[in-house]
Amino acid sequence: MSGTYTSNKYLNKPEHGGDVGTWGTGALNGNSTIVDSSLGNVTSISLTGLTTYTLSIANYQNATIKFTGTLADQVVTVLLPTGVSGQFAFIDSTTAAGTSSAISLGWTANGVTSYELTPGKTQIVNADGVARVWARSASPSTGGVTYIPISKWADSLSPHYYLTSKELENSVFYVYGTSTVPFGSFIILDFPNPTNGLFTVIANYNWSYITTGLVVATVSGSFGQITPNQSVVMYRCITNAFFEAADPVSF
């Protein structure tokens, strides 16, 4: 087919007077198929054994992209070609092989801004192909859970773990796992300053070196109440101060 192609969905733009006698079976039918796919089709991509995957034209011409397979204990980067933009629904149906297993969206150019998908969720995400930015356009779920393995506090020199913007999309924070790394008397789950809202913290970890427990706080702000191991606490945070919104529940 002669002509040029659109940058986002690669639709054919026939030249004036070109493709005589074949325009309908070529550009018209082909474009109609692509438009239909971009409005409602689902394509599946297996990420088993991969560390990176570059989305092809045939991939990003679809409305929904479903990731399958088993992820190694690391982040797998899925890349979109620079210059391509649009809104996509991503389904993460992969099986994690470790606590660090994740899918991160990026770009084929350097200096990219990436976005990490929530395992087991469907998310609608916008891609800006010019500034190379992925941005969430809808929450993964109301009252969703952010899972944080205790290995995030593996550095014995600092008791802090700073929540990312991705992790802050949810209102429930579940800290789990077992660690034998020598540490101090407590660990801190740091929220940005300011933070406002109602949050639930589930402490379900085992760490013999942590004698006091888990503390929630805002960066450079005041500390919340200490959460012992194996307990559930609901907090409300106003700007930079945490307050218990309900009595802790042990389990």
The answer on pLDDT for 222 being more than 50 is yes
What is the reported pTM? Answer: 0.60
Distance CA 5, CA 191 (A): 46
DSSP 29-51: HHHHHHHHHHHH-EEEEE-TT-S
Pick the closest to residue 72 from 90, 53, 99 (CA basis).
Answer: 99
pLDDT category of residue 13 using cuts at 50, 70 and 90: confident
Task: Give the model confidence (pLDDT) of 178-200 as tens digits.
Answer: 887 776 778 889 998 888 788 89
Contact 98, 111 (CB under 8 A): no
- Choose the most confident range, by mean pLDDT, from 97-101, 127-131, 140-144: 127-131
Distance CA 37, CA 10 (A): 12
pLDDT of 76: 93
Task: Give the model confidence (pLDDT) of 80-127 as tens digits.
Answer: 999 999 999 999 999 988 777 889 999 998 756 678 887 777 888 889
The answer on pLDDT for 67 being more than 90 is yes
CB atoms within 10 A of CB 112: 18
Residue with tokens 């989305």: 55
